[in-house]
Amino acid sequence: MYRIDTYDVIVVGAGHAGCEAALASARLGCKTLLTTISLDNVAMMPCNPAIGGPGKSHLVKEIDALGGEMGLAADATAIQMRMLNLSKGPAVYSLRAQSDKGAYHRYMKSVIEYTKNLDLKQVQVMDIIVEDGHCVGITTELHEEYRAKAVILCTGTYLDSTIIIGDTMYSGGPNGMRPSVGLSENLKKHGIDILRFKTGTPSRVDRRTLHFDKMILEEGDPNHHAFSFMNHREDKNIRNCWLTYTNESTHKIIRDNIMRAPKYAGKIHGVGARYCPSIEDKVIRFADKNRHQLFVEPEGTDTTEMYVQGMSTSMPIDVQYAFLRTIPGFEDVQMMRPAYAIEYDLLDPLQLYPTLELIKLPGLYSAGQSNGTSGYEEAAAQGLMAGINAVRKIRGQAPFILARHEAYIGTLIDDLVTKGTNEPYRMMTSRSEYRLILRQDNADLRLTQKGYDIGLVSKARYSHFLERKRKYEEALAYIRNIRFTPKEAINTALKEMGTAPLTGGTSGDQILKRPEVTYDQMITYLHCPSFDAEAMEEMEITVKYEGYIARQEELIRKAARMENEKIPEDIDYLHMEGISTEAAQKLDKIKPLSLGQAARISGVSPADITVLMVYIKQHKGE
């Protein structure tokens, strides 16, 4: 082996997890190496060219608030933006951006190349270097050796990956890229437990062969939005999407050829994503549905490729053509890239601490799809946290762990390392028990101070945050302190607003709490002052949901007692009296950091937690 260089942190893989991990490490002042099989892989979008959506937009906003890059990249390369779930309440409002996938790659690659302390290299990593039970570097297929104080695996879906299209199976990575061959087997030799999952992607079709007059136009949201709290809200709607549907003819072709589908023919063994099923799974599992919706989305401004969202498949190419051409608007379709399934190896996330460091191999971290998640946003969130924690451990600082009540990122990582996953994990708002507090609109108010304290949020950004916070508090103070009395003019205005007149004096927030009243109406009819748009939005949500928020905050205070009860590192679960065998084995494997985390482990009962609490009290006494 030829030693090339020594770094503080090495990140293996330059997808969305790797980019955030490397940027966090370098921005915190550590000499960092980011490796990738191909420089064309940096921040590549091998599946849907989009950022955000239900649950995922919360992650992007939190990444941004902590000083990450994904929100800025999404804003810079968006070609359409829409706010989803507006009819369901602010807890589940979700911003989604259609991205120019080529521009997104170029943006992120440029940011990485011009970041201080960060080297980007095209290498194929073959193994990790372990000395005295610690990971201290990597080796490559060209017999290079790079040493480091910490290594972060962000290998995505590349580990021993196999592409599957009908009867055709070959070793390959996403989007025609090289797979990572050899690293997975070497990880097993180091005692790391490996799982195998499957995911897939739809075909890309030629825009010029589609008949859009037979589809439903899906325009962008007329209200302007931004993922990053640093950016002004601007009109990003420069391209349209379209909606169309499958039909009975589509379904008949799929049913007639179902045994040619690799999964049903027994050729796919990896576990697929339940929340993103293939079109053949939809037809078989939901046989009562006579149609399934498909969104036809542009891949960029300089390409004719269109993404067919909802049409993931691994059927043979002739079957793909046959069922595509039954869809309205697709009668003459030509594919530019066929749909495919991909099987890949990944690490069992139950092997990780909440810092994303491997329990049995200090110095080695894992983030992204290699931990069993699906989606760019879930990967980026993990990468950011792994990068932060690798640096903090190197410097002897306390780990940075977000609790479930603090962020969706906390929910994501806690779910992975405490419960594990037997299928590709997807973030959804329903996964958080604190979703009314963990909204996308208040991510900066929740997390920017933490990002600043860590050192990732710049002084300029912090000043911007303090000004936004001041504007919000100004709007909130106004609405709580202003008083209205039952004067004729006031009651006439209230009637015009469609709400009941006053019978006595009341505060502005009590009027705003009425379901039929908005602050925009109060500006128009009651001549209330206008504030910054984001401040008014935040203020109105706070006022209208104040009672619900107060109840969730009480639940958080109760949960915090369990989270703050730390478990001694040297605890011997296997010889603890009074605890069940299953609980002892699960606790010994996962090694929870707190009583709260221990209580969420499957197989650990309330009785087991009681025994554990007694043990901790005795340990404190000693």
Q: What is the pLDDT of residues 478-507, one digit of tens each?
A: 999 999 999 999 999 999 999 999 999 999
Cβ-based burial of 129 (10 A; exposed 0-12, middle 13-18, buried ≥19):
middle
Q: pLDDT at residue 146 above 70? A: yes
pLDDT of residue 106: 98
pLDDT band at 602 (very low <50, low <70, confident <90, very high): confident
**What is the chain's mean pLDDT, rounded?**
94
pLDDT of residue 59: 98
pLDDT of residue 564: 85
- β-bridge mates for residue 98, sequence order: 50, 80
Distance CA 581, CA 567 (A): 19
Q: How far is CA 583 from CA 142, 377, 577, in A?
A: 45, 33, 12
Phi first, then psi, for residue 596 (nearest 5°) are -60, -45
Closest CA to 504 of 488, 489, 484: 484
Which tokens hold the place of 209? 């062969």
Residue 525's contacts (CB-CB under 8 Å, 6 or more residues apart) are 493, 494, 496, 497
Q: pLDDT at residue 70 above 70? A: yes
- Number of Cβ within a 10 Å radius of residue 317: 15
Q: How far is CA 551 from CA 148, 435, 534, 548, in A?
A: 47, 12, 25, 5
pLDDT of residue 97: 97
- Asked if residue 293 lies in contact with residue 286, where contact means CB atoms within 8 angstroms, the answer is no
- Asked if residue 519 lies in contact with residue 539, where contact means CB atoms within 8 angstroms, the answer is yes
- Number of Cβ within a 10 Å radius of residue 620: 9
Q: What is the pLDDT of residues 438-475, one digit of tens each?
A: 999 999 999 999 999 999 999 999 999 999 999 999 99
Q: What is the pLDDT of residues 292-324, one digit of tens each?
A: 999 999 999 999 999 999 999 999 999 999 999
Angle between helices 533-544 and 459-481 (to 10 degrees): 50
State mean pLDDT over 583-589: 89
Closest CA to 25 of 530, 433, 395, 334: 395
pLDDT of residue 622: 59
The predicted model scores a pTM of 0.93
pLDDT of residue 596: 87
- Asked if residue 302 lies in contact with residue 102, where contact means CB atoms within 8 angstroms, the answer is yes
Q: Provide long-range contacts, Cβ within 8 A and 24+ apart, for 250-255.
A: 250/283, 250/323, 250/326, 250/327, 251/283, 251/290, 253/319, 253/322, 253/323, 253/326, 254/279, 254/280, 254/283, 254/315, 254/319, 254/323, 255/283, 255/284
Closest CA to 590 of 382, 418, 400: 418
Distance CA 137, CA 35 (A): 12
Strands 2-12 and 168-171: what pairing?
Answer: unpaired
Q: pLDDT at residue 98 above 90? A: yes
Distance CA 466, CA 55 (A): 26
Distance CA 431, CA 442 (A): 18
Q: How far is CA 16 from CA 34, 60, 75, 163, 189, in A?
A: 12, 11, 15, 21, 27
Phi-psi label, residue 429: left if phi above 0, alpha if psi -120 to 50, beta otherwise: alpha
On the CB side of 11, CA atoms within 13 Å amount to: 39
Query: Which residue bears the tokens 């190197």?
Result: 394
Question: Does residue 147 sit in helix, strand or coil?
Answer: strand
pLDDT of residue 509: 96
pLDDT of residue 621: 65
- Asked if residue 492 lies in contact with residue 470, where contact means CB atoms within 8 angstroms, the answer is no
Q: Which amino acid is located at 592 in the chain?
A: P
| pLDDT more than 70, % of the chain | 100
Helix (H) or strand (E) holding 197: strand 194-201
Q: What is the pLDDT of residues 319-368, one digit of tens each?
A: 999 999 999 999 999 999 999 999 999 999 999 999 999 999 999 999 99
Which tokens hold the place of 593? 């950091």
Strands 144-153 and 364-366: what pairing?
Answer: parallel
Question: Does residue 570 sit in helix, strand or coil?
Answer: coil
Distance CA 531, CA 549 (A): 23
pLDDT band at 392 (very low <50, low <70, confident <90, very high): very high
Helix (H) or strand (E) holding 5: strand 2-12
State mean pLDDT over 203-213: 98
- How many residues does this entry show for the chain? 622
Which tokens hold the place of 589? 């494997």
- Asked if residue 220 lies in contact with residue 52, where contact means CB atoms within 8 angstroms, the answer is no
pLDDT of residue 554: 86
- Asked if residue 129 lies in contact with residue 119, where contact means CB atoms within 8 angstroms, the answer is no
Please tell me the least confidently modeled range out of 22-26, 243-247, 536-540. Answer: 536-540
Question: Does residue 622 sit in helix, strand or coil?
Answer: coil
